[in-house]
Amino acid sequence: MLESIFPGYTIIVRVLYKILGFDVGLLASAFVMLYMVVWISSLAYAKTSELVSTHLTASIQISNNDDLYRYVLNWVEEQQMTKDARHLKAVTLPASGYDQEPDSDDDSAIDESGNFTYDQWQRSKPPMFWPNFGTSLVWWAGHPCLSRPFRFTRSRTERTIKDEMSREETLDITCFGRSTEPIKELLSFIQEWTSQKGQGRTVIRRTQTTYDTYWGPPIVRPTRPLSTVALDQQRKADLIKDIMEYLHPKNARWYATRGVPYRRGYLLHGSPGTGKSSLSFALAGFFGMPIYCISLAEPKLTESALDNLFSKLPTRSIVLLEDIDAAGLKREDEPMSESGLNTMSEPNTTSKVTGASPIPAASGPKSNISLSGLLNVIDGVAAQEGRILIMTTNCPSKLDDALLRPGRTDVKVEFTLATKEQIRSIFYRMYSTKLEKGQPAKTSGTTTKQTPTKTKSVQNPPSTTNREDADFLKLLAEKPVLHTVEDEQLNAMKDEFAERLPEGKFSPAEIQGFLLSRQKEPFRALAEVAAWRDQMLAAKEKNSKIF
Ligand SMILES: Nc1ncnc2c1ncn2[C@@H]1O[C@H](COP(=O)(O)OP(=O)(O)OP(=O)(O)O)[C@@H](O)[C@H]1O
């Protein structure tokens, strides 16, 4: 047979036999046989695999645009599979945003001088391992006595639109059998696993723009307790009750039977730094809902992209449109001023929101979105039912009445400059050690009732030969000692602190900023607040004269 494929084969074999003394033809025949066996086996394997995957397996595909994609990869990372698998993808930080912050008791970020070094912390974190592009196998014991294999196939496609390349990844989960039920079970298990892992955290989504604007990957942050937002208790309670009532499952039917769109809008308005954004994030954490933030001033955001973003919102979510007045929304029939800014920023005398003074035109980046475009998106067909829309503004008088009408803005909450109660609350929260849920405050001082001092603890600075450097390092090593104050005394101090500050003059952010720079020194804060107050009031007075 070989003679017919290679003419002259017999002669070559005879010559070689004479030279070498053994039959090379036997070797060649054995090799050809082996090759045939391997070829036929791989063909049979490919055919059988094809038949099995077509007729005896079920699969579900997940796109990387879906949150589930990351949930599954994170879950796979936790499985034994990543220890056994031979082809993995290493990632330093999970795309879900989990655990991106060092824990308070994570000493790996502290260098020998007792200072925090982010670089060191990052280096100390082991990378995570995801299945690489291609196929991997994971065994999952969905039932106590049955562990079954699932095949994860991760693939990527690339496409170029308008000179910008976009990548789309997909994950196919396959199992034996003709039903997708085991995969659905696995997916709901993974969702449950993710939500347990995410307890006490708030999922934040922001827009991202490449050739198009879409929702970026989720960022997960520790939930901000509502109690940390100092606001009139009654107002806070009313707002929470309103949202609770709205979100109640029975309410959806109530809205449907009456033909009212099941949506609710809130306008949080007030001076900068009074807690509007903080309350929005705290509400998202309180109700366990993801919060989707959109900046209308984003230069690449178009009306169709905004429409698309709204259509991708999950049914129960919070949408936060921050500083909506600064986006410079304009009516289509509205002329542009000479400076190019739209003239809607003229004081709106018919505004229903009271108490706001005329505000000069905003000079920030202007939106591509027209007012009618935004209104269409807010209550158009793409708008999700069950959604909560929160708009924040420093200047409600600049907003068009159309945006403020019920159905778009159902509840308005005013945020004022700090009241006495807020001042007390901010002071107390800054220094109370009760808030660190059972964690003993890391303090190098003892409980004290002393008068203000500038006590410092001096740690061993790293050695250096340069005298100037050594002095500087010594200065760096001086750390303020945390004066832990007993609760009773702290309550008295917060009253005293509030006494020294006038009501309605400073924003909570300003007071917080003052206290933060004396983060461990309540006595110092109390001693220095009067001087700070006078300086700030003088500066404010001067500024108001300039403008
Ligand atoms: N009422 C408040 N209670 C507690 N902290 C507050 C409050 N108001 C502001 N802060 C603190 O001040 C900082 C800024 O607050 P935030 O961003 O929520 O204000 P804002 O009203 O949204 O400001 P802007 O209008 O400038 O966006 C945050 O660190 C927040 O913790």
* Ligand 1 contact via 268 beta carbon (within 6 Å): no
The rounded distance, in Å, linking the Cα atoms of 29 and 10 is: 12
Q: Which of 194, 191, 221 is nearest to 206 (CA)?
A: 221
Question: Which ranges constitute the DSSP H helices of 128-204?
Answer: 181-197
* Ligand 1 contact via 229 beta carbon (within 6 Å): yes
The secondary element (H helix, E strand) that includes residue 203 is strand 201-209
**Which ligand 1 atom is at minimum distance from the Cα of 394?**
25
**Tens of pLDDT, residue by residue, the chain (547 residues):** 667 777 887 888 888 888 888 777 788 888 889 999 999 999 999 998 888 878 888 999 998 878 788 888 888 887 766 666 667 777 765 544 444 555 555 666 666 666 667 666 666 667 777 777 888 788 887 665 567 888 888 888 877 766 666 678 899 999 888 889 989 999 999 888 887 776 778 889 998 877 778 888 788 888 888 988 998 888 899 999 999 999 888 888 888 888 888 889 999 999 999 999 999 999 999 998 899 999 888 888 888 888 888 888 888 889 999 888 876 666 555 544 443 333 333 333 333 333 333 334 445 556 678 888 888 888 776 566 788 999 999 988 888 888 888 888 999 999 999 999 999 999 999 988 776 654 443 433 333 444 444 444 445 555 556 777 777 777 776 666 666 778 888 999 999 999 999 999 999 999 999 999 888 889 999 999 999 999 999 998 887 765 5
CA of 456 to the centre of ligand 1 (A): 31
Q: Which of 281, 285, 226, 240 is nearest to 425 (CA)?
A: 226
Is 322 within 8 Å of 206 (Cβ atoms)? no
In a 13 Å sphere around the CA of 534, the CA atoms on its Cβ side amount to 3
* Ligand 1 contact via 277 beta carbon (within 6 Å): yes
Using alpha carbons only, what angle is made at residue 75 by residues 70 and 78, rounded to the nearest 5 degrees?
130
* Ligand 1 contact via 291 beta carbon (within 6 Å): no
Q: Which of 216, 236, 235 is nearest to 227 (CA)?
A: 236
Q: Which pair of structure tokens corresponds to residue 425?
A: 């609350």
* Ligand 1 contact via 272 beta carbon (within 6 Å): yes
CA of 501 to the centre of ligand 1 (A): 18
Q: Of 235, 277, 506, which is best to mutate to test ligand 1, by the most ligand atoms within 8 angstroms of its C-beta?
A: 277
Q: Which of 505, 496, 524, 501 is nearest to 428 (CA)?
A: 496
* Ligand 1 contact via 509 beta carbon (within 6 Å): yes
pLDDT at 38: 94
**Which ligand 1 atom is at minimum distance from the Cα of 230?**
3
Q: Which pair of structure tokens corresponds to residue 361?
A: 């035109």
Q: Which of 174, 131, 176 is nearest to 154 (CA)?
A: 131
* Ligand 1 contact via 276 beta carbon (within 6 Å): yes
The rounded distance, in Å, linking the Cα atoms of 445 and 484 is: 8
Q: What is the 3-state secondary structure (H, E, C) of 277-298?
A: HHHHHHHHHHCCCCEEEECCCC
The rounded distance, in Å, linking the Cα atoms of 519 and 447 is: 16
Is 472 within 8 Å of 493 (Cβ atoms)? no
* Ligand 1 contact via 417 beta carbon (within 6 Å): no
CA of 503 to the centre of ligand 1 (A): 17
Tell how far CA 333 is from the center of its chain.
38
Q: Rounded to two decimals, what is the model's pTM?
A: 0.69
CA of 394 to the centre of ligand 1 (A): 12
Is 422 within 8 Å of 230 (Cβ atoms)? yes
* Ligand 1 contact via 508 beta carbon (within 6 Å): yes
pLDDT at 298: 82
Residues whose CB is less than 8 angstroms from the CB of residue 539 and which lie 6 or more positions away in sequence, other chains included? none
Q: Of 235, 278, 510, which is best to mutate to test ligand 1, by the most ligand atoms within 8 angstroms of its C-beta?
A: 278
The rounded distance, in Å, linking the Cα atoms of 269 and 413 is: 6
The rounded distance, in Å, linking the Cα atoms of 284 and 262 is: 18
Q: Which pair of structure tokens corresponds to residue 60?
A: 């579900």
The rounded distance, in Å, linking the Cα atoms of 346 and 328 is: 11
CA of 276 to the centre of ligand 1 (A): 6
CA of 530 to the centre of ligand 1 (A): 22
